[in-house]
Structures are given as structure tokens and as C-alpha cells.
Amino acid sequence: MATNAEIAGRFEEFADLLEADDVEYKPRAYRRAAENIQAHPVPIADRIGRGDEEVLEEIDGVGNAISSKIVEYVDTGTIAELEELRAELPIDIADITRIEGVGPKTAGKLYRELGIETLDDLEEAAEASEIQEIKGFGPKTEENIRENLEFAREVGQRHLLGEGRPLADDVLAFLSGLESVERCEVAGSIRRWRETIGDVDVLVGTNAGEDVIEAFTAWDSVDSEIESGPEKASVRVGEIRVDLRVVVPEEFGSALQYFTGSKDHNVTLRNYAIDRGMKLNEYGAFDVRDVADHEAGQRVGDRVAGETEEGMYESLGLPWIPPELREDRGEIAAAEADALPDLITREDIRGDLHTHTEWSDGNTPIKSMVEAAADMGYEFYGVADHAEGPGIVGGMGLSDTEILEQVEQIREVAAAADIEVLAGIEANVDATGEIGLTEEVIDALDVIVASPHSALDQDAETATERLVTAVENPAVDVLGHPSGRMLNERSGLEFDATALGRAAAEHDTALEINANPRRLDLWGSAVQAALEEGAPISINTDAHQPSTLEYMRWGVHTARRGWAEPADVINTWELEELREFLH
């Protein structure tokens, strides 16, 4: 059965191919639908399969035409109109548009001019210097393509956490319903909430492993079986591989610890165990001080833990380490010193400071966005539509006059709202770090988010200077998505997170974790480096419609990967304290 992410992916492909075919307007509608399908909180295909097509009426941007295509895909696994487009434009559009600077329109032109369908075709054309001969391209474009081919191939093998985690939740829901399953958990990089994942790893504790394997491979969401045996099986659901491993319940905790990783964390933990006369593996924790040959088998020595993950760490005298921290960045030493952070949770979040409305590239009125935020229990909510400037596609940014007009409307909505509504803007950080707002506009606003949208190929030194300049600006409250990256699409700016964190701390400017699962920018290690310098952090969804306010979960877990505690994140502060912080 198709997942929401899989359905959304079909409409993303639709939009890309239509744009490659120079179709106007419709691609944007399909992208909006895809984003809302992805964010929808319930499995759409499951509801449709039970005859409840009314679920489609709950999704913003999904009208009759798109609804019929969704139903067609759920029922048949294909969409006839999409198949026709694929035949007309046989381009590996997802792969080719992972090249930084190559969007769907460019991919379409490359196909029409040179017949380029794949990354291999693109590489051959670049090596033959054919691309620079196309009108509007040139040697620089060709060199950029050549330099980014490796990146495109590498990321093409990974999936977004925002695609993998919902699928993992579906797998857990199915397996947990089996009578013979005693325990069931996701493992691997998904459990650590890494921003991209290779596959979905799931672990089951049971005394009826073969029965669980049989039920899993027969699950109606499975598109194909890759392999299966008495203890493990691999299947493909949509485009994502799902690996299941079954273990006896008394070894579930040790297996969960082992298969959660990371590899570096496990190596350091095993060495820590060896120094204390212990042996640690997927089968348990064993006291081997009286064993002559520690390598005589996997289960040698006296077994002291294995049933629970907590017991595995306790056997070494350590507290349980949250999965998000298991990247070998000092967490074992911190656990030994009883100095693990009290990590932030979703319940700590009081509001969202970076969101969009129909005034720029969102598609929802201010009042509706505010009501949605209030329904989530937020105490404050910030509107931060785009200011005009470089990198804002399609002229969607607001002029000074429009910003001031919007502020008036925000004040009107705020007067009748149940929560505090902040008038903000997302200004553009230009190539030198300037934000291009007038004093009149600055004085009218409550919060200014400044984000880079262009010149994302600068070297690390230049990029660091640029971002530091932005956070040093007394008008800037939050540096939005600092790298400008789009996961699996463009790498964005490289910069010194320590230097940026130091500057942010000195100038009381928050660094954003953009919670959009396509960004997750900042990322865990950068957050940790910034926090070590005392920088404040802000987690924002960059939501463009009510459903994407739910992106906050991705941002919170990214903050946890960076060792963030509630007090580190300005979205957890009391409104009075937040007001004092905002410039």
C-alpha cells in the first residue's frame, strides 16, 4: 500500500516533468499538493482502501483533478497522465535535478538539445564540452555540472528522514498488531533521527520469528520481496528498502542498542566495555573477566544484560544514552560524568517564528495560519514572509510598501487572536551579509529572520564572513537556514559553525534549525558546535500552509542531535523573555 511520501513523490515528479515541459502554473499546484500529502497525519492510501475517499477533502490544495489521480494511483499503482509524461520526457528527473543549479526547466532543455536522460548522459556531454554550446549555458555551467555529479550520485542513494520515518511508523503499527510480537522498535539512522537514511531498519522481539517474517513479507504495503530467511527479511515499499530482523525477547535490548548505532558510537562503547572486563555485542553484555579467550564465541562469559537497552548501558555503569546523541561526539564521556543534556522535547515548544502566508509564497491567509498555530497550543506565532531580493523565485518577495501593509493586517488579526502574533519578515542575506531593509521597515517589525537564498557556492571562508556579518547586524533576530541547503538537491554553504556560534552568542542572534524535512538546517553537529559557544537556537518550521506547522517534530529531534536543552531554544521561552530578546 502506498505511503503518503510515495504518493507525494509522484506529484513532485509530475511537477518536475511539467516544468521541464515548460508548462506554467500547474507545477506549483502539484508541488503544493505534494507537500500537503506528505504532511498529512494519517495514511491516505489506507483510508482510500477502506472506501473513505473523503480523506482527500481534508488536504489543502487537493481538488477534484488531483484527487482522482491519487485514487488512481492507490488503486492501480500508476497514473496514466504521469506515464504519458514519462514517455514524452524520458528523463531521470529526480537524479538530474540533484545537480546544483540544474532545475526541471534546465533538465528539459538538456533533453531537447542533447537528448540527455540520465546522469551518465550528462557526464558524457560535459566531458565532451557539448553543454557549453547550448544557448544560455556556457563553460561555467558545464564545469558546475561536472563538479556536482559525484554529489548527485551519492545523495541519490539516500532518502529524506521525512520520507523514511512515516514509513517506519507504518511498519511498526503493522508489526505491533501481530499477536506473536512482544516488542517492536525502529533502529538504525532513523532512530537516531539523521536527516537522510539509506533504508528503514526494524527490530522485533518474538519467540515466533518465522511467523513474523512470513506476515511481514505478505504485508499488503510491500511492493516486492528482496530476500527473507528465518531471522531477517528485506522488502521494498515504494522506493525505500525495509529491513526486518527478529530476535528472542531476552536479546531485544542488546540487539536494539547494536543496530541503532552509530558504528562509531558502538566501537567506542565496546572499547569502554573491554576496559572494564566486559564484552558487548548484539546478543548481550557479558562479564568476561574470568574467560581465557574472549573471542571463543559471541555469548562467552556471564550474561549480565540484554533484555533492555537501559540494562546494556547500566551494565557498564552508564545511564541510558538517547539515540539522537549516539554519534561518538562525546556522549559516552558525558554519560560517565553524569553530564548528559536534559534534551528538549516537542512539549517544550511555545511557538514558531518563521512561517509564510499567501502574501509571499505561502498559500494560506494570515488569519488561518494564526488559528492553526493556536490550535496547536502555541502561545506565540510569527509571520515572516519573504522580502524581495536575490534568490526569491518568481517575484514573490514583498516590497517595503507591501511589508508595511502586511504589518497592518497582522496587527488587525492579532487584536482578535487567542495567541500573541508577531509581525516579521524573512529578509535576504546577500552575498556580503547585508539584509537590505530600510529603517522604517525594521522599526515596524517585531521579528526579523534573515536567510541566504543566493550565492550558495561561496567558499567556506567567504560564507562564514557573510553569515557572521548577518548575525552582527543589530536588526537581525534569527539567522534562517544558515547553509541554504536542500537535502538531496543542493549542498548549500559550507561555514565555520564554531565561529558563527561565537558571533551569534556575542550579538544575541539566534541560529535557526529550519525544521522543513528537506532542509534541517542547521544540523546536529553544527548545533552542538554553536551551543558550545553559547549561541541561542531557534527552531522554526518555515511553514507555507497549516499542515506544515507539524514539521516542528523534525526540528526538535535535530536540536536533540545537537545536545540542545529547552533553555537553549528561544521558542521555549516565556513571551516576556522572548520579547526582551528580539531586537
pLDDT single digits (tens) 440-497:
999 999 999 999 999 998 999 999 999 999 999 999 999 999 999 999 888 899 999 9
CA distance 128 to 134: 13
Residues of the chain with pLDDT under 50: none
DSSP string, 399-453: PHHHHHHHHHHHHHHHHH-SSEEEEEEEEE--TTS-----HHHHHH-SEEEEE--
| Dist. CA 41–CA 21, nearest whole Å | 32
For residue 449, is it within any domain?
yes
Between strands 159-160 and 200-206, the pairing is: unpaired
Residue 303 lies in a domain: yes
Is beta strand 278-281 parallel, antiparallel or unpaired with respect to 284-287?
Answer: antiparallel
Claim to verify: residue 430 and residue 523 sit in the same structural domain: yes
Do 168 and 180 fall within a single domain?
yes
Report the distance separating Cα 559 and Cα 189, nearest Å: 16
Statement to judge: residues 213 and 352 lie in one domain? no
* 57 CB-contact burial (10 Å; exposed 0-12 / middle 13-18 / buried 19+): exposed
Where is the domain boundary, 107, 124, 155?
A: 155
193 and 263 share one domain = no
Considering the domain architecture, whether residues 165 and 140 belong to the same structural domain is answered as: no
Q: Following CA atoms 162, 167, 169, 171 in sequence, which dihedral angle do they give, to the nearest 10 degrees?
A: -160
Residues 195 and 297 in one domain: no
DSSP 94-152: HHHTTSTT--HHHHHHHHHHH---SHHHHHHHHHTT-GGGSTT--HHHHHHHHHHHHHH
Q: Classify residue 397 by its DSSP letter.
A: S
Judge contact between 462 and 499, C-beta under 8 A.
no
pLDDT at 337: 98
Give the residue from 247, 273, 292 where a domain finishes: 247
Query: For the chain, what is the domain count?
Result: 4
Same domain, 472 and 423: yes
Indicate if 350 and 325 belong to the same structural domain.
Answer: no
Cis peptide before 180 (omega within 30 of 0): no
Domain final position from 315, 336, 357: 336
Residue 35: which CATH number? 1.10.150.110
Asked whether residue 396 is assigned to any structural domain, the reply reads: yes
CA distances from 579 to 477, 507, 576 (A): 11, 16, 5
How far apart are the C-alpha atoms of 547 and 151, rounded to whole Å? 31
Answer yes or no: is 102 within a domain. yes
pLDDT at 393: 59
Q: Is residue 100 part of a domain?
A: yes
Edge-to-edge order in the sheet of strand 447-451 = 351-352, 380-386, 420-428, 447-451, 478-479, 510-514, 537-540
Residues 274 and 234 in one domain: no
Find the CATH number of the domain harbouring 565: 3.20.20.140
Does residue 341 belong to any structural domain of this protein? no
- Within a domain: residue 24? yes
Q: Are residues 202 and 168 in the same domain?
A: yes
Q: Is residue 483 part of a domain?
A: yes
Q: Which structural domain range is residue 207 located in?
A: 159-247
Which residues pair with residue 424 across a beta bridge? 384, 447
Which residue has 515504494 as its cell numbers?
Answer: 238
Q: Is 222 in the same domain as 272?
A: no
**What is the model's pLDDT at position 143?**
87
Q: Tell me the CATH number at 235.
A: 3.30.460.10
Whether residues 371 and 408 share a domain: the answer is: yes
For residue 270, the domain's CATH number is 3.30.210.10
